[in-house]
Amino acid sequence: MVKVTFLKLGYIGATTLIDALFDERSSRKNITLRVISSGVKMSDEEARDTANLAVTIPTDLYIVVSPNASLSGPKIAREILKETGKPIIIVSDEPSRKTLKKLPEEYGYIVIYADPMIGAKRALLDPIEMAVFNSDVIKVLAVTGVLRLIHTEIDKVIEQIQNEVPPEMPRIVVTKTKAMQYSGIENPYAYAKAMASFEAARRVATLSTEGTYKVEGKENFLPILAAGHELIRYAAKLADEAREIEKANDTVSRVAHFRNGNLRSKTKLFDTYKK
């Protein structure tokens, strides 16, 4: 039984379902999952507080999920967790790349390029707009291989821990090419559509950042932020279109967790899973 604890500070798209990726039907016998989160906040204090809670939980592997892992909150959190001596994997978004690549080798990390910041200005953002945006991001992450990559790579670490092998930490920058390798998409045009979806999502990040931080005046930033949200909606549509092609060809790649935690895969819906 491997014990995995997720520490979530603030929100990126991957935050919402990351723990569920490891036991999609709630049937695995070889892991226990715990999640501690500070909700949307990720200040130093919130980070310290939740990390201090996380260290009290019996854990074999910590996974820290946050926006921009370069900020001091996430940094404080991983330093507190580091004290436990347990392996730590950091999952974050594109602005984290430089910082994470420089982390000592014992940290694992997964830097996701297509998990864009939301348009974080009150003029656009209310709870419903926020939820709609995340719905779209999740679809992009699911179809373009990002979520598959996350669970596959961390599943390897879990298995190593279970087998008492020193775990090899993933140190992955999830570019469009890297993500798509995990997408399992067979049709070349569906593949291109998913990649286009990924790139559109990445562009959303640029728009959200520009509109949230760089542009003054509601009449200026609001169209830019709203454009970002329109673009993520279309990125989700592109992802959906890609998946629909795979369905139409009965080539949807499925890789499911079995009770013992093993992953097996199949392609045709009525196939039997195989190693």
- Restricted to residues 167-226, the positions that interact with a second copy (CB under 8 A) are 176-177, 180, 187-193, 195-196, 199-200, 202-203, 206-207, 218-220, 222-224, 226
Helix (H, G, I), strand (E, B) or coil at 60: coil
Stretch that binds a second copy, among 3-11, 83-91, 94-102, 158-166 (CB under 8 A): 3-11
Residue nearer to a second copy on the CB measure, 165 or 269: 269
Q: Quick check: 16 binds a second copy (CB under 8 A)?
A: yes
Q: In 3D, which of 230, 186, 14 has the Cα closest to residue 238? A: 230
Minimal distance, residue 8 CB to a second copy, in Å: 7
| DSSP string covering 212-259 | III--SHHHHHHHHHHHHHHHHHHHHHHHHHHHHHHHTT---EEEE-T
Residue nearer to a second copy on the CB measure, 43 or 160: 43
What lies within 8 Å, CB to CB, of 64 at 6+ separation is 6, 7, 8, 9, 74, 77, 78, 81, 88, 89, 90, 91
Minimal distance, residue 86 CB to a second copy, in Å: 17
Stretch that binds a second copy, among 73-81, 96-104, 160-168, 234-242 (CB under 8 A): 234-242
Stretch that binds a second copy, among 77-85, 89-97, 133-141, 165-173 (CB under 8 A): 133-141
